[in-house]
Amino acid sequence: MAKTYEGGAPLAEVIRSEFVEGVHRGSVVVLDASGATVAAAGDVASAIFPRSSSKPMQAIGMLRAGLSLSDPADLALVSASHAGEEFHLERVGALLARAGLDESALHCPPDLPVGEAARDAVLRAGGGPTRIQMNCSGKHSGMLLTCLAAGWPLDGYWRPEHPLQQRLRESIEEFTGEEVAAVGVDGCGAPVLAVSLTGLAGAFLRLVSAEVGSLPRTVADAMRAYPELVGGTQADDTRLMRGIPGLLAKVGAEGVIAAALPGVGAVALKIDDGAARARMPVLVSALRRLGVDAPVLTEYAELPLFGGGVPVGAVRPVW
């Protein structure tokens, strides 16, 4: 499993004026409810960085280390890549304040909101990048609160050797069923751990299949109950969880997404060039292989391309 990712197969094509303008390659795996692979393309066995798709497993690790949150909405935010909308920022600020902290304790870098509307609002108001607006500030707040609960130092909480990060690594290895193949630095400054797409899909399946009341199920239930906190008003994973009851979904940077539906199966995929526009059409194709369908999938099945302000083509799956 430590071998280098070999790259994927053609998964989506870009059609403009009935001409194939480009192709997105990547890898995708589909598991049934038992965890058996029923379809795959590309390299699903070698390690990739799941990026923020790892956050549900990290949240489980925080709970096991002593993080205590009375409101499931806060747990959804700890598992989130939020859009930086006002309700996200207020909740992150309240989490920190309850621990006697403010955003200066966060190690994630100052940033503008990733949500387009929220970013535009900040710029119109004359604002600029802040740590709390960074899309991983919920996760980092959870990490800080976990350290306080466990009696670990806040200093260096983001370093791989810190006891917090060691616990989170154990959680990812347990739920993916794999040893971490590589450790990198994520965009937020915290460690990102390499596992395979097959391991990632299996982890999501284990979360939605866990017993009610268990910590894995608690995280999955919180994310599904508060999808707007996981992404944002218009985020892809938020809209998927709103549109398909019971679905757990989480996007990651560089074209990654994982999703699972209890009693049905799970999907994990990566677009090699990191293009978010190809991610959702391929996910729709994968979910439909499991017999999943809903109006939200029809919306994402092909993404329109525009020319002169009118639709002239689409990004559509070829797998």
Q: What is the mean pLDDT of residues 35-51?
A: 97
Q: What is the mean pLDDT of residues 64-79?
A: 97
Per-residue model confidence (pLDDT) at position 1: 55
Q: What is the mean pLDDT of residues 24-35?
A: 98
Per-residue model confidence (pLDDT) at position 3: 72
**pLDDT surpasses 70 at 2:** no
| pLDDT tens for each residue of 139-166 | 999 999 999 999 999 999 999 999 999 9
Per-residue model confidence (pLDDT) at position 4: 84
**pLDDT surpasses 80 at 58:** yes
**What percent of the chain lies above the pLDDT cut of 90?**
98
Under the banding of pLDDT at 50, 70 and 90, the label for residue 210 is: very high
SS (H, E, C) the chain: CCCCCCCCEEEEEEEECCEEEEEEEEEEEEEECCCCEEEEECCCCCEECCHHHHHHHHHHHHHHCCCCCCCHHHHHHHCCCCCCCHHHHHHHHHHHHHCCCCHHHCCCCCECCCCHHHHHHHHHCCCCCECCCCCCHHHHHHHHHHHHHHCCCCCCCCCCCCHHHHHHHHHHHHHHCCCCCCEEECCCCCEEECEEHHHHHHHHHHHHHCCCCCHHHHHHHHHHHCHHHHCCCCCHHHHHHHHCCCCEEEEECCCEEEEEECCCEEEEEEECCCCHHHHHHHHHHHHHHCCCCCHHHHHHCCEEEEECCEEEEEEEECC
